[in-house]
Amino acid sequence: MHEKTPATAAGKSSSATARAKVAGVPAFTPVRTRRAFEEVCDQVREQLLRGDLKPGDRLPGERELAEQFSISRIAVREALRSLESGGVVEVRTGINGGFYIRSSSNVDGITQSVQDMVTLGQVSIANLTEARVEMMSMAIRLACARATEEELDAIESDVEHHTELFKSGGGSRNSKSVIEFYRLIAKATHNEVIVLMIDALSEIIRDMLARIDPQPRKDIMQVRRKVIALMRQRDAEAACTAMRNHLQHVSDYLESVSQNPVRPRKLPG
């Protein structure tokens, strides 16, 4: 494979950028410094900030991007993978397949990053618990002020559903639905950032507990019933206290198992 000369590369990139502008699609400038894929990622993010790119927009194809940026297709692939793992773009398959700007929030990137930090010992269980307690306390306070009756009904319905599920032996931490309770409280805040953060923290703790003992105790539903009952009364402080005590019990359990993993005990209510 022949290497492009600087003049040839510059000519092709200029032509590709001009064609993009005429066609009304995102146009990028050649990469001159830094690692190529980092510059690609930065330019995509800059266009998002300016509004030149919007959720649902399709990025140019790999070959077209390589010409516009005046870099190799390998560097383009590395940039697209980085943007995908960061939740900025998503891959779609089929006739209209390609890389698109994500049209909805993606918690997977945040969850994986924090999980990796826990695995590497950079984040402790105590750190996770503190963050989760504070986020849930904030969510409960906002939800008590903002939640509609329909949203409170949805939280209560989730509690009743899982109560019956656990009675029949169908409840499991291997199912992500077990943490829907926390997500519904977060959604009742009407703040998508809070939903994103609570989703990530809840999923990390759920995964840790599932590895130890996939079957939660049935009386965990007593705590949830207490929380939603207090939220219906708009008693935010009492609901926060009940939630804080429960989450601290979960943290104590995880700490004890991490220190003595031979025989895990049942999680207290």
More confident position, 193 or 174: 193
More confident position, 257 or 53: 53
Q: Which helix (H) or strand (E) holds 177?
A: none
Distance CA 210, CA 204 (A): 10
Q: Which helix (H) or strand (E) holds 100?
A: strand 98-101
CB burial of 117-143 (b: ≥16 within 10 Å; e: otherwise) equals ebeeeebebeebbebbbebbbbbbebb
Which range has the top average pLDDT, 188-192, 210-214, 247-251?
188-192
Q: Which among 17, 18, 128 has a CA at the least distance from the CA of 67?
A: 17
In the beta sheet, which residues pair with residue 90? 100
Q: Which among 182, 142, 192 has a CA at the least distance from the CA of 162?
A: 182
pTM: 0.64
Q: What average pLDDT score do residues 39-65 get?
A: 90
The pLDDT of residue 62 is above 70: yes
